[in-house]
Structure formats: C-alpha cells, structure tokens
Structure 1
Amino acid sequence: MNNVTIKDIARELNVSTATVSRVLNQSGYASLEVKRQVLAAAKKMNYQPNAIARSLKKHQTKTIGVILPDISNPYFMKISKGLEDVVYESGYHLIFSSGNDNPEKENEMLKVLFEKRVDAIVLAPSGENDELIHKIKNTGIPVILVDRQLSNEAVGLDYVTEDNFEGAYQLTSYLLEQGHKQIGVVNGPLSISTGFERYEGFRSAIKRYNIEVDHKYIYHGDYTQEAGYKAAKYFFDLAEKPTAILSFNNRMTFGVLLELAERGLSNYEHLDIASYGETEATIFLKAPKIITLHHSSYEMGARVGEILMEKLVKNKEESVNEKPKQHTIYTQKSTIWQESDLKS
C-alpha cells in the first residue's frame, strides 16, 4: 500500500486518528496494547511519516540552506564540512546550491530556500541582494554570512570571515621583502568584500614600502580559473613583465599556473607566485616557487554552525532582535610557506 496515512491506520484498527497520532509521535497516553497494535499496523502497512506535514506542524524542517559561489571549490568544500560536522549532531541537514557570483541566480535561490521553509540560510553573498536578504532575516529566519560581508552594514547580519586585509598584507609584504617591485596582482571583484579587502591589504603594504600602484600590473578577475589564465596571459604579453604574481584566490592561481605551463614552466624558474589559498597543482611543481597563505576554512564553517545552533534553540523574536555575532578568523603569519623542493 502506497502513501499510507494516519487515517488509514486508524480505519484499519477502528480507533481514532488522535490515538494513532499519539502513539506514532510518542506524545500523550495510550495503553500498551493499543501501542502494540498501532506500531504493528504501521509496520505491516509500510507507513512513512510525512516530513512536510510534520515540519509545518512543528514550524521547522531541520534543514539549512547554503548558497556558496562555487560548491566545487575545495575552499568552500572545507567550509561546508566544518558547518555540517557541527549541525549534523543536532539533527540538521544541509541543502547546497552554487550562486556562481551571479546576483540573479542568488536571488532566485534565496527565494526557493525561503519557500522551502528552511530553518536558516548560510550565504557567501554576491553583494547585490541586500534588500531581499534583509527581508528574509526580518521574518525570523536566521541568515549568517560566511567568507564575505554585505556592503550595507545596516542590515546587521551575523557573519564569519577571515581577516582578508591582513592576509593580503602579509603576502604582499613577503614579496616586497624578496625585492619584488613589479608585482602582477590578480584580484577578485571589488564589489565583493573579499576582493575589496584583499586589494586594500595589498595597497597598504606597498604604501608602507613607498611604492606607487602601477595599474598596468593590476588585473581584476572574477575568482575563476579562467580569470587567472587570462591575467597571466595579459601580464606576460607586457613589454615589461612582472617579476612576481600575487593571486588572491586559489582558482585564479590555478589558472595562472595553466598559462605558465602552456608557455613552459622552465622559462619561469625565477618567478615567484603568491597565492591567497592553496591549490593542489603546487604538489606537481618544482618551479616556479609558490608562496601560499593557508585558509582557515574548516574553522570558519564550524563557527557558523555553532552560531546557528545557538540561534535555532531560541524563538524567532529573539533571533530578529538580538545583536549580530560578528567573528573574524585571523590568519596566522606562520601559515605562509614556500614550495621550494617539490617534485616535478
């Protein structure tokens, strides 16, 4: 029998639907004999609880919607793992989607998750849906930002990010200390908080060394492999080529390496590459030298999960009115390392 309901079991046993409901939901009184009969009938008739109906009754679905720019990116995978490890222990499950840094797609996915009645939303925003995010938050659904912030701070959302300014400052300072003055910078979009903050960290570092920004060595990409590929092609078609490349995203770093591979890596043995975030390709390289700043992505995801669990045990009114939790995961200077002796 398909789609068996509580009413079907009640009809089979000639008892009330309320009695069957009390037994199956383990709430209220029912004699041992009635319990035995109801459970036996439910098993015999292959009864499956209606998760949608139950969620409507309890006003919770035990699901959390997660919108990330690219769920295939190892960086965001680690964030997701940290988040899942925390919320799973409390019986919550995650629904993932990729926003692709496309504001229209992100807008659509936010509406879908809201209509699906998820209990909370975790978002790495594209930077252009502040109004909708604010509206969702004001319905009582917790919205927590991860990796990025909104341009409109008045929205007052919880967020967990890395110290992007400090990380970019460290990487830039390292290259400058090695004597580099012509540094090709592959940055993300300035409309996204990480792109703006990392670029400001770069600018602050070169200002400290009394160097002016040479805009011919600045390439604003979109955090994709293709952007890194195009940036490297642009830099090495210049008459005066950079002596180092500073990439502010692991995917763009991989694109840079692809372009260099096509040109012949042996031609760039003296080129330094600094990457904000790890890329697996470095394990196959002997040259050029890769300087990497490690992300704290798992820790970020776990902290988001902890904040969510704190919120989901409170009522909606408290969630709307409480002061936002804003956490910055600081990058440690010791996490810069060199790939100087890697296998070819």
Structure 2
Amino acid sequence: MNKVTIKDIAKESGVSTATVSRVLSNTGYASDEIKERVRKVARSLNYQPNAIARSLKIDRTNTIGVIIPDISNPYFMRISRGIEDTLQNENYYLLFVSGDENQKKERKMLRVLMEKRVDAIVLATSGGNDELINQINNSGVPIVLIDRKLQNDTGEIDSVVENNLEGAYQLTKQLIQQGHTNIGVINGSLKVSTGMERYIGYQKAMDEYCLGIESELIFNGNFIEDDGVKAITNFYKLDRKPTAILSFNNTMTFGAIIQLRKMGLTIPKDIVVASYGETEAAQLLESPSILHVKQLPYEIGVKVGKILIDRLINNIKGPTNQIFNPIIDISE
C-alpha cells in the first residue's frame, strides 16, 4: 500500500493541498468546517506526517545526537538522563551512538549524525578528531563536550567536564595518608584528557610526598572492564604486591573487583581499592569501604541540557565551559 500524502487528503476532502498543509501544521487560516473535514479524512486514511520533509522545510529535526565511548557505562547513561529530562519539555529527542573508544568509529558516527541532520551533538570524545569536531561546530551545529576536552583545547567549544587532575590528586593523597606507598595504578587512555589529567593528578600527589613511581605498578588501559581484570592479574605476579589499587574509572574498577574476588581477596582487609567514580559492584560486597571520587553525572547532564536550550532556542552564543569539582567519599 502506497504511503498517504497530503495530495490524497486534498482530493478526498475537496480542498487544495495548501489548505491541507495549513490545517495539519496549524498555520494560516481555515474555517472550522474545513479543519474538521480535513482532519477527519486524514484520520480515515491513517495519514502519517513526513518528518524528514518537514525538517527540511523548517531546517530543524528536534533531535540531539549523543556520542559516548561506552554506551553500557552507567555514568554516561546518567548524564544522558539529565540531558533528556532537561530537554523533554522543549520537544527535543536524543539519538545515541557509541564511539567505543575508537577514533575511526567516532569520526564515522559524527558524519552519520550530520547526515541525519541533528540540531546539535553531545560528545565524549575518544580523541583524534579535533579538526572535524571544530568544523562541525563552526558550521552552525553546536557541539557540547562532556567528560573530556579536545586534545588541543582552546575553550571555544561548549564543555562540561570534571576537575580530573584535582580529583585524582585528592584520591591518591588519601591513600598515601593511610600509609600506602606501594599503589597499583589502573590508567585509562592517556590519549584523552580524562586519562592524562587523572594520571597527572596521581603524579602530583606522589611527588608531593617524595614517592617514586614504579613502572611495573602502572597498567595503561582504555577505560574498559577487562583492563581492571588484566591489571590485577599483572600486579599479583609481582614479588612486591601493591597494598592498594587506584583505578581511574568505574568500569575498570568493576573489573578489578571481580578479579580480586575470584582470587579470594577481601576489600579492604586484604587490599584497599580507590576508584575515580562509584561502581555499583561495591554494593554487593559485605564491607566494601571503597574510597572514590563521587561524580555528579545527572547534574552534568542537566547543565548540558541548559546549554543546548541556550544555543538552540534562546539563540544565546557561547562558549560555556563548566568544571565540576571533585568530592571524595567512601562506599559503605
């Protein structure tokens, strides 16, 4: 069966296509009798508006593209919920895609979203696409960076991020003050701002206490669960095993906890765990006491949503660069 068009409705109603268009879009004048006749025919024919054609006409799709590196990470999902809740009354909707911590895939997803004519893009970049990101933003499609900044950040693009260096510094400092000097570090990717800033924060605390950094106690990962598993496996092959684990995101922490439990180790009796970000796995432990940086993903999402409203509805120019300061907490 062919798709019903406004021409079909016009023919059945005995009016012009222009009149049908005015009635269905609630623009321009039509008598109450004509409005009722056109709408009745549209219902009887099961007419479905052509969203693509309409978006081309008004140059707006009311969609926001969201590219995140790990679509399964609760942190990014809470950010997305904050964005969605803020935008829902403005009739904007989110399209989710995953960059998978992969530069090429992220570039492809950026182009796909542009082809879909999204009105704006929210991006937690995996790195390496600065030029394309700047091109898109300069073309009139606003980009809001979340969690991560560009490698060559100039502050000219809207961003909502955390003070990663300070958070990692405070987290490391807490471990040192508890008496830990042999700390196993699970890094995220140093190619993205979060990974590099958190590692620099760790270095700052170690330098402040005149503690040397041993390369065998540094595991360079990519913010995925398997990194936590591999890091623990590697650390426990060492003659001098760490007394504390410092993991630089919640997903890697989850992997580390799983592996520690498989090895029959108890947290914090046998080993202390500190995490940049909370992990839900801690709630399953009898006495977790996991030191962590408490993140505020929902609040970040709300701020992103407000920036998008400013850019898309209020026509307020940016950039806005919001930094959330860290809160150190203990999972009990």
Please indicate the TM-score interval, normalised by the length of the shorter structure. over 0.9
Note the C-alpha offset of 1:6: 0.8
1:195 counterpart SS class:
helix
Alignment match, 1:108: 108
Paired with 1:274 and 1:32, the residues of 2 have a C-alpha distance of: 67
Asked if structure 2 preserves the Cα contact closer than 8 Å seen for 1:269 and 1:287, the reply is no
1:153 counterpart SS class:
coil
Alignment match, 1:337: 330
Note the C-alpha offset of 1:33: 1.5
Alignment match, 2:232: 232
Alignment match, 1:162: 162
Q: How many residues align?
A: 332
Note the C-alpha offset of 1:50: 0.8
Within 5 Å, which residues of 2 pair with 1:76-155?
76-154=76-154
Asked if structure 1 preserves the Cα contact closer than 8 Å seen for 2:268 and 2:290, the reply is no
Q: How large is the Cα RMSD of the aligned pairs?
A: 1.6
Provide structure 2 residue ranges, at least 5 long, that are not aligned to the other structure.
none
Note the C-alpha offset of 1:160: 0.2
1:265 counterpart SS class:
coil
**Shift in CA distance, 326/51, structure 1 to aligned 2, threshold 3 Å:** same
**Shift in CA distance, 48/136, structure 1 to aligned 2, threshold 3 Å:** same
Identity value in percent: 52
Paired with 1:141 and 1:176, the residues of 2 have a C-alpha distance of: 46
Paired with 1:143 and 1:338, the residues of 2 have a C-alpha distance of: 35
Note the C-alpha offset of 1:267: 9.4
Note the C-alpha offset of 1:225: 0.7
Q: TM-score, normalised by structure 1?
A: 0.93
Note the C-alpha offset of 1:2: 4.7
Q: Deviations over 1:168-202 (max 9, x none)?
A: 11110110010111111101111110000101111
Q: TM-score, normalised by structure 2?
A: 0.96
Note the C-alpha offset of 1:234: 0.7
**Shift in CA distance, 266/294, structure 1 to aligned 2, threshold 3 Å:** closer
Provide structure 1 residue ranges, at least 5 long, that are not aligned to the other structure.
340-344
Within 5 Å, which residues of 2 pair with 1:253-264?
253-264=253-264
Asked if structure 2 preserves the Cα contact closer than 8 Å seen for 1:134 and 1:155, the reply is no
Note the C-alpha offset of 1:13: 2.2
Amino acid at match of 2:250: N
Note the C-alpha offset of 1:131: 1.1
Asked if structure 1 preserves the Cα contact closer than 8 Å seen for 2:166 and 2:201, the reply is yes
Asked if structure 1 preserves the Cα contact closer than 8 Å seen for 2:103 and 2:129, the reply is yes
